[in-house]
Structure 1
Amino acid sequence: MLKLINLNKLIFIIVAISIATTWAADDGWKKIGESDGIAGYTRPTVRSGVDEIKAVGIVDAPIAVVEAAIRDISIMPQYIFLCKESFVINTPEMKSEGDVIFFYSLTDLPFPLSNRDVVAKALWSVDKSKGAIYCHSEGVKTAYKQNKDVVRMPLSITNCKLVPKGADKTEVTYQVLGDPGGKLPHSLVSMLTKNYGIKTIAGLRQMVKKDKFKNVKKVVTTTEKLKR
């Protein structure tokens, strides 16, 4: 009987360690769905009442093409889920040049909810040793294009990581942490967290097929990513 109890304790400890290791390894991400090879994840965050989201999927295009598509702010409404309007900002206060891009983005929410918008600063960098490209964009505080009928998001952080997987495939990790401001129906929040990342990568898969990107051969990001 004593041996049986000790064995049960040992099994319990092993299982507990295994679970703890799993959660530690994925930083609290929980898989919530998958569509056409694109996996979606969420995790709670103290910075917002809405879960942080992440999606990971393969795009059938060289990394230079994927980079070019994401850098093209004008096509965001064609592939980013619920994006209605977007454009590059270039003012004396917000100068877009090289690996620094300021842009405006408007998110279209269903009536009677107010649309959300953000003015963001995107920073591009590259890890030349791995060939990976990174884009970190974060909302900035500004009255630029402020509209009383649109809610400016108090928090908007997006991280995109591109990793080459052979000559003609790129793994895309798309991660969003946001606070939409105000209260949103639970059903809408659930729909957004479930679909936003997955549908965005699915849309990106279509964008890279456009003729405007077919002759792209070279990565243009030159800023080296700082090592942590």
Structure 2
Amino acid sequence: MDKLNRGLHVICFVVMVALASAPLFAASEWQLVHSSDRLTVERRDYKGSDLDEIRGVLRLDASLNAVMALLKDASFNEQWVYRSGGARVLQEMGYPEAYVYGIVDAPFPMVDRDTVVRFDFKQDPVTREITIGIINFPQFAPEADGLVRVPDFGGFWHLRPLTDQGVMVTYQVYGDPGGWIPVWMANRAAVLSVQNTLENMQAAVVNYEGSQSRYVKELDSAE
């Protein structure tokens, strides 16, 4: 009996070591779900859950400052972000950090959602590449009547300037929409959100650059 117990202890110890040394969530491979001349959209499992993480990569014909100006203007968000019900800045901590409230215009019969996130802006001084982290802060603002607060949302924008004055844009996000939504519907909505937002972005940055040309030129001259 002692030998049997010792053997069981050794087996349990080996299993525990193996579990401790293994990653909690192995990142799955990206799977292509949409491809066009300038845009690709991919999905993968998010942290072992049934929800997907989505990544879109788009080549834009625009200056880096024009793209940044578009992304930082919350009031213009509703003009191009897919199913946006509007957005506003709650608090800014100088240029590199802003808390933003947004509404998601969910399709019937779903209830509209709202989000509260912090955007963190960082730029590499050598490559000029910009990363905008998206961090969830659902408790930063009171919940609104008639809306479902998104409990988990995050990701990033990455802007890489190209030698021909274009910008390679990467938009990667994950999220739990909250409330009761079938998983397949939530994952489909996530793909459509990234795909349509990025498809709208080229026209949006052109329109924004034209309507806000003075602001964009001021950014250009500040470099």
TM-score normalised according to structure 2 size = 0.78
Q: Decide whether the 8 Å contact of 1:99 with 1:125 is kept in 2.
A: yes
Q: Give the corresponding residue for 2:5.
A: none
Aligned-residue offset at 1:83: 1.1
Q: Give the corresponding residue for 1:117.
A: 114
| Distance (whole Å) between structure 2 residues aligned to residue 117 and residue 162 of structure 1 | 26
Residues 1:213 and 1:48: Cα distance change in structure 2 (over 3 Å): farther
Aligned residues with identical type, % of pairs = 25
Residues 1:187 and 1:46: Cα distance change in structure 2 (over 3 Å): closer
Aligned-residue offset at 1:207: 1.5
Give the letter for the 1:203 counterpart.
Answer: N
Residues 1:186 and 1:142: Cα distance change in structure 2 (over 3 Å): closer
| Distance (whole Å) between structure 1 residues aligned to residue 55 and residue 175 of structure 2 | 12
Q: Decide whether the 8 Å contact of 1:35 with 1:198 is kept in 2.
A: no
Aligned-residue offset at 1:200: 1.1
| Distance (whole Å) between structure 2 residues aligned to residue 203 and residue 96 of structure 1 | 29
Q: Give the corresponding residue for 1:185.
A: 182
Aligned-residue offset at 1:185: 3.3
Q: Decide whether the 8 Å contact of 2:52 with 2:187 is kept in 1.
A: no
| 1:22-49 Cα shifts (integer Å, max 9, x gaps) | xx9x962111112342100001012754
Gaps of 5+ in 1: 1-23, 223-228
- Is 1:156 matched up with 2:157? no
Q: Give the corresponding residue for 1:140.
A: 137
Q: Decide whether the 8 Å contact of 2:78 with 2:85 is kept in 1.
A: yes
Which residue of 103, 107, 122 corresponds with 2:104?
A: 107
| Distance (whole Å) between structure 2 residues aligned to residue 30 and residue 66 of structure 1 | 27
RMSD: 2.5
Give the letter for the 1:193 counterpart.
Answer: A
| Distance (whole Å) between structure 2 residues aligned to residue 220 and residue 116 of structure 1 | 39
Q: What is the SS of the residue equivalent to 1:209?
A: helix
Aligned-residue offset at 1:141: 3.4
Q: How many residues align?
A: 194
- Is 1:214 matched up with 2:218? no
Residues 1:105 and 1:47: Cα distance change in structure 2 (over 3 Å): farther
Q: Give the corresponding residue for 1:198.
A: 195
| Distance (whole Å) between structure 2 residues aligned to residue 48 and residue 82 of structure 1 | 25
Q: What is the SS of the residue equivalent to 1:208?
A: helix
Higher-Rg structure is 2
Residues 1:137 and 1:219: Cα distance change in structure 2 (over 3 Å): farther
TM-score normalised according to structure 1 size = 0.76
| Distance (whole Å) between structure 1 residues aligned to residue 49 and residue 99 of structure 2 | 23
Aligned-residue offset at 1:137: 1.5
Q: What is the SS of the residue equivalent to 2:194?
A: helix
Q: Decide whether the 8 Å contact of 1:124 with 1:133 is kept in 2.
A: yes
Aligned-residue offset at 1:187: 5.4
Residues 1:47 and 1:85: Cα distance change in structure 2 (over 3 Å): farther
Give the letter for the 1:146 counterpart.
Answer: E
Gaps of 5+ in 2: 1-25
Residues 1:38 and 1:62: Cα distance change in structure 2 (over 3 Å): same
Alignment of 1:34-183 (within 5 A): 34-46=35-47, 48-90=49-91, 95-142=92-139, 144-183=141-180
